[in-house]
Amino acid sequence: MKFARLFLDQIALYRMILQGNFKEALAVVKAYWHFWLHSGDMSRQRKKIKPKSVKYLKGFYNHSIVLDFYLKKKKRFSDLNFD
């Protein structure tokens, strides 16, 4: 999931540069640096916390809303399948 997010961030970064939004592009680059410099620390902290699984909790959507919106053309919240 991390790599999908980074891929989408790169697409957004290139788009910002092409549109001339250099301040926003710089913010994305800074976020990359922070992520890579602190990824070890974040990983250790996440292992300590171990969040509870929300996979089977009622009311949580366990799929990608972005993919459902663009690929499956689900435009309304009521179109989402929570199974």
* pLDDT single digits (tens) 11-46: 999 999 999 999 999 999 998 888 888 888 888 887
Length of the chain (residues): 83
pTM score, two decimals? Answer: 0.48
Is 8's pLDDT higher than 60? yes
Q: Which two tokens stand for residue 16?
A: 């910002």
**pLDDT at position 52:** 64
20-27: long-range contacts, CB 8 A cutoff, minimum separation 24: none
Percentage of the chain modeled with pLDDT above 70? 87
Domain positions in the chain are 1-50, 52-83
Is 77's pLDDT higher than 80? yes
Q: Alpha-carbon torsion 78, 57, 72, 32, what sign?
A: positive
